[in-house]
Structure 1
Amino acid sequence: MTKSSSKFADLRLRLISALVLAGVALVVFLFGGLWSAVLLAIGTGAMVWEWREMVVGQGQGLRPPGILMIAVAAIAVIVSDQFNPITGMAVLVVGTLISAAWERERLRFTVTGALYIGVAMICIEALRADSRFGFLAVLWLVLVVVAVDVGGYFGGRVFGGPKLWQRVSPKKTWSGLIGSVGCAQFVGFIFALVVGLSYPAEVALMSALVALVAVGGDLVESAAKRFFGVKDSSRLMPGHGGILDRLDGLMAAAILVAVVSFVRGQSIFLW
């Protein structure tokens, strides 16, 4: 195997598993409502489990306090769909604190992680719940985050160069970051043109901001894995590690977009 081909040795497996996951998510989010809420709830529970496995050690996350914390986070997403995001977050906070009172080990980490994951997934469900632009908003968000991953992957492996933050993520480079932002802007611009929006430049600009936040979310999870001494959050996704490894950037980006939408009082797609 040549040096060039070895750089992309994991590309095929990564691509296949990513396409399968993306295909399932696309169909479910197209239906929206309870369908998307259930999918997000499953993902939420899986990621809280992964997080607890990282924090408290293998098998420890399935003790009664862990099971309760996982269930609460998943149920909170369903509640946010059936009622509203505020109610869902209230269930998340209260339920997480109750489960935390049941245990003592590394509490500040387990609670913080569960709340962050739950809030992020509730934000995605809240974006999808918009009757006019919900599906487009989530589709755009996912496509931009995928573009961040693709642009960073090829930018870093083709051009290499100085590391972005070697102590936390040895493989990430400044060229990869530039590739991520550039690819995200391009995808956002083309997406706006394809769906008929009259402000593609603004969508491209917002896509660049989302890209930076997504990379930040990725770095935060990388720092957490390094701190806890694990390579991947789990092995649930062949070629990708765990669900948390794949959705870390999406969750950070979703929180940003949800906050911007809330502050503006309207969908991110209205200008």
Structure 2
Amino acid sequence: MISALVLAVVALLVFLFGGLWSASLLAIGTGAMVWEWREMVVGQGQGLRAPGVLMIAAAALAVIVADLWMPVAGFAVLAIGTAIGAVLERASLRFVVTGTLYIGAAMICIEALRNDFRFGFLAVLWLVLVVIAVDVGGYFGGRVFGGPKLWPRVSPKKTWAGLIGSVVCAQLIGLIFALAVGLSYPAEVALMSALVALVAVGGDLIESSAKRFFGVKDSSRLMPGHGGILDRLDGLMAAALVVAAVSFVRGQSIFLW
């Protein structure tokens, strides 16, 4: 609880300032998660050689570049750095590259959402609150109602009742948030929150399946009591990718309709 509270307060202040502050925090998180992913794939304690350092640095730098110029430039740095590292990489290449690109792209999307001059901070705050609601709703839905498992081979504790609880809680938080900050379309925001809930649960299941595949319990021990950063941000990254994609396709913030 203490480590989660400290991280939450720091993240809130940093994202409130935005710009290079949020980009730097996201870059640090990106580098840490790419390192965690490589440790899961290649094997813990194997050491970090030049290809790994290059991929980690490229993914972190991509977020900074995306903030200073534009997301497209960040994606270019991510792709080029990962490609060069992939040429030198020899162990579990397809998993290492896929994970690096996924993590880097998701964190660039979070920074892109924050850089919206009108709704940037609100968009990131909404996204984080909805993902937290997914965890809370899923926990209580599963504990209170139980029932059939969602995907027992990958996540033995997740149930269909928990999934429904996640969606309902996310919708409720989305609606309350929209009304509290005076958004013009609270019903639409609540509907989008339900979509985010489904995507966040999917992101969590993807990471859980990866950990089972590679035979690890936690992505790392960087966060006391929580495992790794990747364990905490798996749902948020998946949700950020979808929200950023929807915003890009629509050509405007998800808070505008």
TM range (shorter): over 0.9
Q: Which moved more, 1:71-80 or 1:60-69?
A: 60-69
| TM-score normalised by structure 1 residue count | 0.93
User: Can you give the 5+ residue segments of structure 2 that lack an aligned partner in the other structure?
Assistant: none
Question: How far off its partner does 1:159 sit?
Answer: 2.4
Q: RMSD of the alignment, in Å?
A: 0.9
The corresponding residue for 2:99 is 113
Matched, 1:172 2:158: yes
Matched, 1:162 2:180: no
User: Residue by residue, what CA displacement relative to the aligned partner does 1:232-271 show, whole Å, maximum 9, x if unpaired?
Assistant: 1011112221100110000000000000000000111111
Report the 3-state secondary structure (helix = DSSP H, G, I; strand = E; otherwise coil) of the residue aligned with 1:62: coil
The corresponding residue for 2:89 is 103
Which amino acid in structure 1 is aligned with residue 104 of structure 2?
A: G
Structure 1 residue corresponding to 2:51, chosen from 65, 70, 79: 65
Residue 61 of structure 1 contacts residue 67 of structure 1 at CA under 8 Å; is this kept in 2?
no
The corresponding residue for 2:169 is 183
Percentage of pairs with the same residue:
84
Which amino acid in structure 2 is aligned with residue 37 of structure 1?
A: A
Which amino acid in structure 2 is aligned with residue 26 of structure 1?
A: L
Question: How far off its partner does 1:61 sit?
Answer: 5.5
Matched, 1:211 2:197: yes
Q: Mapping of 1:1-271 within 5 angstroms?
A: 15-60=1-46, 62-271=48-257
User: Residue by residue, what CA displacement relative to the aligned partner does 1:90-109 show, whole Å, maximum 9, x if unpaired?
Assistant: 00001001011112110000
- Aligned partners of 1:97 and 1:37: how far apart in 2? 23
User: Can you give the 5+ residue segments of structure 1 that lack an aligned partner in the other structure?
Assistant: 1-14
Which amino acid in structure 2 is aligned with residue 102 of structure 1?
A: L
- Aligned partners of 2:184 and 2:110: how far apart in 1? 24
The corresponding residue for 1:4 is none
Which amino acid in structure 1 is aligned with residue 207 of structure 2?
A: E
The corresponding residue for 1:3 is none
- Aligned partners of 2:2 and 2:165: how far apart in 1? 22
User: Residue by residue, what CA displacement relative to the aligned partner does 1:127-164 show, whole Å, maximum 9, x if unpaired?
Assistant: 00011100010000010001101111222223222110
Residue 49 of structure 1 contacts residue 61 of structure 1 at CA under 8 Å; is this kept in 2?
no
Which amino acid in structure 1 is aligned with residue 67 of structure 2?
A: D
- Aligned partners of 1:70 and 1:60: how far apart in 2? 16
Pairs aligned (count): 257
Question: How far off its partner does 1:63 sit?
Answer: 1.6
Report the 3-state secondary structure (helix = DSSP H, G, I; strand = E; otherwise coil) of the residue aligned with 1:170: strand
Question: How far off its partner does 1:175 sit?
Answer: 1.3
Residue 31 of structure 2 contacts residue 57 of structure 2 at CA under 8 Å; is this kept in 1?
yes
Question: How far off its partner does 1:199 sit?
Answer: 1.4
